[in-house]
Chains A and B, each alone.
Chain A
Amino acid sequence: MLPIRESFILAGILFTLGVIGVLARRNLVFILMSIEVMLNAAGLAFVVAGAQWRQPDGQVVFLFILAMAAAELSVGLALVLELYRQYKTLDTDVLSRMRG
């Protein structure tokens, strides 16, 4: 038997850890890392579901998530660099004042 239920529990735990990271940390780089953890957990859930039904569709969706994560991260890290260049900090409490 495949450990289907345990895999879903693991995906949920990893996703929850990512949510905690996004909510608790104040550094933009850590927030992006936590988003990666969440995307990875979602992909894990898809692959587990694909293994449950013996279909490749779950893996296909994981590939899409992978490409989406790469695109999101490249733009996000470019934004982080630009923000650091302008404000010399990555603290979201400081950066939340957008002032135009």
Chain B
Amino acid sequence: MTIVFYVSSAVAIAATVLMLTRVRAVHALLYLIVSLLAVAVIFYVLGAPFVAALELIIYAGAIMVLFVFVVMLLNLGEETVRAERALLAPSMWIGPSVLAAILLAEFIWMLARGGVPPAQAVSIGPVEVGISLFGPYLIGVELTSMLLLGGLVGAYHLGSRKAPHTEVTHATHP
């Protein structure tokens, strides 16, 4: 299991460095997703399978979808078509694919060994986390719900098109 940890760490660091050195945002997103997948494998090795699943679902799933939508909204038109063509070139997707294939090989290897978390670590599953989350940390859950509501209202307010209002201000201050 230690070798799995080291390989995943190397994948995470390599993917993050490659993310920081990309020019296009979509390519950086691919590497960021691979980095999050590698961190999820590390969580699993450390005996936190619940958090590993949440890392996949929320970080690599929901948050990355937000990023992808914004990147799509930012460059519309001809730019997007050329970006799509460049994205289909093998040099663009071969790097994230290799890194993701390493993680997949680790996954298959762990499944072949029986699919058990590391024997050295005491695995803390969803039951303990849920008991702790809705026991002593209940006030934190309430505060988080208020934070998410604030984020929802803020994103809706900022994202709504205020077209007539901006036209009026542009007319008065040309």
Contacts and interface: CB of A to CB of B under 8 A. Distances in A.
B89 interface: no
B121 A67 contact: no
A77 B155 CA distance: 8
Q: Which of B5, B9, B12, B51 has the most CB of A within 10 A?
A: B51
Contacts of A10: 9, 12-13, 42
Contacts of B129: 56, 59-60, 63
B155 A7 contact: no
A71 B147 CA distance: 7
A29 B70 contact: yes
B107 to A, nearest CB: 19
B83 interface: no
Contacts of A30: 20, 25, 28
A74 B157 CA distance: 11
A35 B155 CA distance: 18
Instruction: Identify whether the interface residues of A are mostly helix, strand, loop, or mixed.
Output: helix
B39 interface: yes
Contacts of B140: 60, 64
A17 B59 contact: no
Of B62, B63, B118, chain A has the most CB atoms within 10 Å of the CB of B63
Interface residues of A, number: 56
A74 B66 contact: yes
B147 A75 contact: no
Given A47-B51, A75-B158, A70 B46 contact: no
Interface of B: 2, 5-6, 9, 12-13, 16-17, 19-20, 25, 28-29, 32, 35-36, 39, 42-43, 46-48, 50-51, 54-55, 58-59, 62-63, 66-67, 70-71, 73-74, 118, 120-122, 124, 128-129, 131-133, 137, 140, 144, 147-148, 150-152, 154-155, 158-159
Interface of A: 1-3, 6-7, 10, 13-14, 17-18, 20-21, 24-25, 27, 29-30, 32-34, 36-37, 40, 44, 47-48, 50-51, 54-60, 62-64, 66-75, 77-82, 84, 90
Task: Please list the 10 inter-chain residue pairs (A to B) with the smallest Cβ-Cβ separation, ordered nearest first.
Answer: A71-B151, A78-B158, A74-B155, A56-B128, A56-B132, A78-B155, A75-B154, A67-B144, A51-B46, A78-B159
Given A3-B5, A71-B148, 16 more contacts: A10-B42, A14-B39, A17-B20, A33-B28, A33-B32, A36-B63, A37-B19, A40-B59, A60-B137, A63-B133, A67-B144, A70-B62, A70-B151, A71-B150, A73-B67, A81-B70
